[in-house]
Amino acid sequence: MPRQIPLGQPTVGQEELDAVKAVFESGWLSGAGPACKAFEEEFAEAIGVPSALSTSNCGSALHLGLMSLGVKPGDEVIVADYTFPATGHSVMWAGAKPVFADVRPDIWTIDPQAAEAAITDKTVGIIAVDAFGQPADYDELNVIAKKNGLWVMEDAACAAGASYKGRNAGDLADVSAFSFHGRKGITAGEGGALTSSNSELIEHARKLHTYGIAPALTREGATDLPVPSFDELGYNYRLSDVAAGIMRVQLKRMPTLMAARNRAADQYRELIGDLEGVTIPAALSDRTHPYQSYVLTFDREINRGAVAMALRAEGVGCNFGTYASHVQPLYATDVVCEVSADLFKRQLAIPMHAELSEDDVSYVAETLRKVMADQSVRAL
């Protein structure tokens, strides 16, 4: 049996177990408790914003952000097309219409010109996606938004540890949403966070994420018996304190984890950067790439499916990159995003995580070279 190199693998150990034990011993395991409060403070400090809100996942963070921004039925929100559909779904959850805009062919983030061209009198905002972690063009997007009276949201699902022109992901737009899913750079298996420099927006989201009332922790230590009342429809979007305990450890690990991913990316660049038929990811010099995924783009004559099956047969985990949203049946749109549709057909993610050894990366590179040398993968 060949060696197995998984596509993704979390870095967890005794420190995370100790953190879970501490939460168990505290007696508060449910959401929005002391561990969540501590993590939110630490995450906000790491990002450089005044406040953060922990959530059950990134989709719930996106939805809360939209609701706190006042998105309502009849509104249109411009959405980067090349993304996991949680981005477009969140707009629909808010009752609004996602309008998809094409992406740059080099770094796969929303094309500011395409975003501007999609603005109508119903547009209220733009959601940019930090594709596989690399931030979008926020200077240009914020100028466009300001000129047209719109807000900008950063889908930073993959971008923990990233930066853009010296500013951290999570502080690049009016509001930002993160994911702590198992394949992300820092993870509790699931979870998310919402960040903003607008503390009032975060506090509104905090109310909405607990069914429309303040979390129970805010009533701890009261001298009477406070009974909250419900005046706004909310949701159960809280992160558990068990997950928050894990995230506090993961946040401390983040610099080391990001460095390990960048070392693997550097090694891939050295070993397969010249491989015919394959283009490796571009990393722009004015932003820090956290490499949540390492995504290859194959030439059009390459049979991506054949490459994937051959890699998996040799124990190399791989999968398609992400989705061209506008072609998904759910959205039923006439919009055409040619770049995104093309990337959807030609991209493949190969192993990228902090547990990759130099020998692992070498094995992946050697296996890919062997597979690409087989003429059968060039027969469409």
The pLDDT profile of the chain, 380 residues, written as one tens digit per residue, is 779 999 999 999 999 999 999 999 999 999 999 999 999 999 999 999 999 999 999 999 999 999 999 999 999 999 999 999 999 999 999 999 999 999 999 999 999 999 999 999 999 999 999 999 999 999 999 999 999 999 999 999 999 999 999 999 999 999 999 999 999 999 999 999 999 999 999 999 999 999 999 888 877 777 788 888 899 999 999 999 999 999 999 999 999 999 999 999 999 999 999 999 999 999 999 999 999 999 999 999 999 999 999 999 999 999 999 999 999 999 999 999 999 999 999 999 999 999 999 999 999 999 999 999 998 898 65
**Quick one: 217 and 86 in the same domain?**
yes
| Catalytic-role residue among 184, 207, 252, 345 | 184
**The one-letter amino acid at 69:** L
149: tokens are: 């009276």
Residue 7 forms part of a structural domain: no
Say whether both 90 and 232 belong to one domain.
Answer: yes
| pTM of the full structure | 0.96
Please tell me whether residues 62 and 181 are part of one structural domain.
Answer: yes
Q: Are residues 358 and 216 in the same domain?
A: no
- CA-to-CA dists, residue 164 to 61, 134, 136, 159, 168, angstroms: 21, 8, 8, 11, 6
3: in domain: no
Q: Is 37 a catalytic residue?
A: no
Examine the domain organization and report whether 167 and 231 are in the same domain. Answer: yes
Question: Considering its fold, how many domains does the chain have in total?
Answer: 2
Structural domain range at position 55:
14-251
**Is 1 among the domain residues?**
no
Q: Are residues 281 and 229 in the same domain?
A: no
Same domain, 282 and 226: no
Closest C-alpha among 227, 318, 332 to residue 278:
318
Same domain, 220 and 268: no
CATH code, 292: 3.90.1150.10
Residues 232, 258 within the same domain: no
